[in-house]
């Protein structure tokens, strides 16, 4: 919305949320998300034609186009728990729009939704008692965190699905202010909804595919980066998104693949469901494999050993930790009774503690006494790579932050216990330099 406001100064954009703290943060100098270039984009448009407020009803009344951009997390209860998307918030938005609207509105699904959600949204909107009329469009978002501003400025494509040609045209015209026409695709509603889930499933599948091969590389002395390069040179395959890692994270991949699995089952396609489910299974295997390898390499015990963790975010250039591979790896290492010193350039100590506390909860949903004791005694969050490494037996790299590549490895090595291990879960550290400094080095998918 900030990008639309920035590119179209004549269009008034109101961003509303029921969470007053979040709106206050959007109105402050400290935005609630870290994203390169976002501060500047927001600053250019805020209080000019971009407004953040908690007055949802007023924004509905004033607007001609309404984007529903709420969370659709994986359901944790009832039918489809663990796989289906929780559409509670989408439905609540639709009900509120129906209740408040009087004239004609274009309602745009921006949230990632299961295919055919628009039918439900339309039915709810049509219950409007105030004479409101609606066109429903699907306009999924394809930006990735860390590159969001760049992705929004020059997207590979903008996708708009809908039956109401006039409404589709209207939305296309807005994007058309800065995006070439040939990049604006229009489809029917269901194709648009399904394309979003499919794109994420394909991307996640690529990561799981290369991660699966990384395990085979470790067993055969092949090098996964070399394999990825050789394979990616085939123009039919392409070179992007073939970086082996500790496993994909983020708020979308797992959620969307599981949602796709659920949909396939719902529509009576168990084989298709099982095919996609394997993408998540492989990701869980990769995360577990990495922590297991650390323990095995360090003489089968990390109990009472200090391990420095570099990076906690699910990828670089974001402070987002949702589904970060770092969470389960740190949990595994804490369960093995190691002492962790975690450093991430953007993730707060509060967030790290909150994410790990959630891993040690009992059946009542609160952290167990044993879990709390473990976090109190064995977890420290520090302010630099050097501080995480000092007196540690090992360093493990879990996020590919650029700054990790310019660390002085000689100095770091000198401050550590011997033998000093370096487990690079992102293949970003120069192996030869690490070995020359004295480290025993282990990369993902490396001989
Ligand atoms: C992803 C998609 O890339 C976006 O197109 C989509 O709009 C977004 O989800 C969404 O649905 O909102 P995002 O999760 O922000 O974006 O980040 P990605 O760059 O896709 O990375 C996801 C995870 O895969 C990260 O943990 C990353 O480290 C990992 N990854 C990615 C790899 O391990 N290897 C790769 O080669 C690429």
Q: Is 210 exposed, middle or buried (0-12, 13-18, 19+ CB in 10 A)?
A: buried
Kindly state whether residue 142 falls inside one of the protein's structural domains. yes
- What is the rounded CA–CA span in Å between residue 158 and residue 138? 11
Of residues 76 and 206, more confidently modeled: 206
Cβ neighbours of residue 407 closer than 8 Å, sequence gap 6 or more = 385, 386
Same domain for 182 and 79? yes
**pLDDT value of position 129:** 81
Q: Is the peptide bond before 286 cis (omega within 30 degrees of 0)?
A: no
Kindly state whether residue 266 falls inside one of the protein's structural domains. no
Residue range(s) defining the domain that contains residue 113: 2-196
Same domain for 420 and 307? yes
Kindly state whether residue 241 falls inside one of the protein's structural domains. no
The domain boundary residue, chosen from 196, 215, 233: 196
pLDDT at 42 over 90: yes
- Residue 250 — very low, low, confident or very high, per pLDDT cuts 50/70/90? very high
- What is the rounded CA–CA span in Å between residue 188 and residue 179? 21
385 is catalytic: no
pLDDT at 426 over 90: yes
**pLDDT value of position 447:** 84
Same domain for 286 and 192? no
Mean of pLDDT over the chain: 96
> Tokens for 5?
């406001």
Q: Which residues line ligand 1 (CB under 6 A)?
A: 112, 141-145, 200, 203, 207, 241-243, 245, 248-250, 252-253, 314-315
Q: Which residue, judged by its Cα, is nearest atom 11 of ligand 1?
A: 252
Kindly state whether residue 273 falls inside one of the protein's structural domains. no
Same domain for 188 and 58? yes
Closest by CA to 325, choosing from 418, 169, 204, 228, is: 204
Residue for token digits 């509105």?
105
Q: Which residue, judged by its Cα, is nearest atom 13 of ligand 1?
A: 144
**pLDDT value of position 317:** 95
The pTM is what? Answer: 0.96
- What is the rounded CA–CA span in Å between residue 366 and residue 400? 32
Cβ neighbours of residue 193 closer than 8 Å, sequence gap 6 or more = 109, 113, 114, 115, 116, 117, 118, 138, 140, 161
What is the distance in A from the centroid of ligand 1 to the CA of 211?
14
pLDDT tens-digit readout, 117-161: 999 999 999 988 888 999 999 999 999 999 999 999 999 999 999
Q: How many domains does the chain contain in total?
A: 2
pLDDT tens-digit readout, 87-119: 999 999 999 999 999 999 999 999 999 988 999
Q: Within 10 A of 335 (CB to CB), how many other CB atoms are there?
A: 15
The domain boundary residue, chosen from 143, 165, 196: 196
**pLDDT value of position 248:** 98
Kindly state whether residue 331 falls inside one of the protein's structural domains. yes
Kindly state whether residue 138 falls inside one of the protein's structural domains. yes
Same domain for 173 and 297? no
pLDDT tens-digit readout, 165-183: 999 999 999 999 999 999 9
Q: Which residue, judged by its Cα, is nearest atom 29 of ligand 1?
A: 248
Q: Is the peptide bond before 419 cis (omega within 30 degrees of 0)?
A: yes
Residue for token digits 């209207």?
170
Kindly state whether residue 259 falls inside one of the protein's structural domains. no
Q: Is 247 exposed, middle or buried (0-12, 13-18, 19+ CB in 10 A)?
A: buried
Range from 15-24, 52-61, 125-134 carrying the lowest mean pLDDT: 125-134
Query: Can you tell me which atom of ligand 1 is nearest the CA of 141?
Result: 7
Share of residues in the chain with pLDDT > 90 (%): 94
The packing angle between helices 325-335 and 369-378, to 10°, is 100
**pLDDT value of position 266:** 94
- What is the rounded CA–CA span in Å between residue 215 and residue 179? 41
Same domain for 38 and 143? yes
Same domain for 304 and 176? no
Any idea what the CATH number is for the domain that residue 81 is in? 3.40.50.720
Query: Can you tell me which atom of ligand 1 is nearest the CA of 250?
Result: 14
pLDDT at 229 over 90: yes
- What is the rounded CA–CA span in Å between residue 9 and residue 7? 6
Same domain for 149 and 283? no
What is the distance in A from the centroid of ligand 1 to the CA of 213?
19
Residue for token digits 């590919």?
400
pLDDT tens-digit readout, 367-399: 999 999 999 999 999 999 999 999 999 999 999
Same domain for 303 and 186? no
- The catalytically annotated residue of 93, 217, 252, 330 is 252
Same domain for 135 and 24? yes
Same domain for 162 and 13? yes
What is the distance in A from the centroid of ligand 1 to the CA of 228?
17
Same domain for 186 and 287? no
**pLDDT value of position 137:** 97
pLDDT tens-digit readout, 311-324: 999 999 999 999 99
Kindly state whether residue 125 falls inside one of the protein's structural domains. yes
Average pLDDT over residues 258-273: 96
The domain boundary residue, chosen from 167, 196, 225: 196
């Amino acid at each position: 919305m900030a990008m639309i406001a920035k590119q179209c100064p004549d269009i008034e954009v109101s961003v509303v949320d029921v969470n007053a703290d979040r709106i206050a943060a959007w109105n402050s100098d400290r935005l609630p998300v870290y994203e390169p270039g976002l501060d500047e984009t927001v600053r250019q448009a805020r209080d000019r034609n971009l407004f953040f407020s908690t007055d949802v009803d007023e924004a509905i009344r004033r607007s001609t186009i309404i984007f529903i951009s709420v969370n659709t997390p994986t359901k944790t209860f009832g039918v489809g728990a663990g796989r289906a998307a929780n559409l509670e918030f989408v439905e609540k938005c639709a009900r509120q729009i129906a209740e408040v609207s009087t004239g004609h509105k274009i309602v745009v699904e921006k949230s990632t939704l299961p295919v055919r959600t628009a039918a439900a949204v339309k039915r709810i909107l049509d219950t409007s008692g105030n004479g409101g009329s609606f066109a429903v469009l699907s306009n999924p978002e394809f930006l990735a965190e860390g590159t969001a501003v760049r992705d929004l400025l020059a997207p590979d494509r903008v996708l708009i699905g809908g039956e109401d040609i006039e409404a589709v045209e209207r939305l296309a015209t807005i994007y058309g202010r800065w995006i070439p026409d040939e990049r604006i695709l229009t489809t029917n509603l269901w194709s648009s909804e399904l394309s979003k889930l499919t794109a994420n499933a394909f991307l996640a599948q690529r990561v799981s595919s290369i991660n699966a091969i990384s395990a085979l590389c470790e067993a055969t002395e092949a090098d996964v980066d070399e394999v990825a390069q050789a394979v990616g040179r085939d123009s039919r395959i392409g070179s992007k998104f073939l970086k082996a890692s500790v496993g994909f994270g983020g708020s979308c991949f797992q959620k969307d693949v599981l949602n796709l699995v659920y949909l396939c089952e719902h529509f009576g396609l168990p084989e298709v469901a099982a095919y996609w489910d394997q993408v998540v299974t492989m990701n869980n295997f990769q995360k577990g494999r990495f922590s297991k390898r650390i323990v095995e390499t360090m003489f089968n015990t990390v109990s009472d050993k200090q391990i420095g963790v570099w990076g906690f975010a699910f990828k670089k250039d974001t402070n987002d930790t949702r589904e970060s591979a770092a969470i389960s790896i740190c949990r595994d290492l804490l369960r093995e009774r190691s002492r962790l010193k975690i450093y991430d350039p953007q993730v707060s100590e509060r967030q790290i503690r909150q994410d790990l506390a959630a891993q040690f909860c009992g059946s009542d949903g609160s952290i167990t006494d044993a879990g709390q004791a473990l976090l109190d005694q064995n977890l420290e969050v520090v302010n630099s790579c050097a501080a995480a490494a000092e007196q540690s037996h090992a360093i493990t790299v879990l996020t590919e932050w650029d700054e990790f590549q310019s660390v002085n490895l000689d100095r770091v090595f000198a401050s550590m216990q011997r033998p000093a291990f370096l487990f690079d879960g992102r293949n970003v550290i120069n192996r030869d330099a690490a070995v020359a400094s004295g480290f025993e080095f282990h990369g993902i998918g490396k001989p």
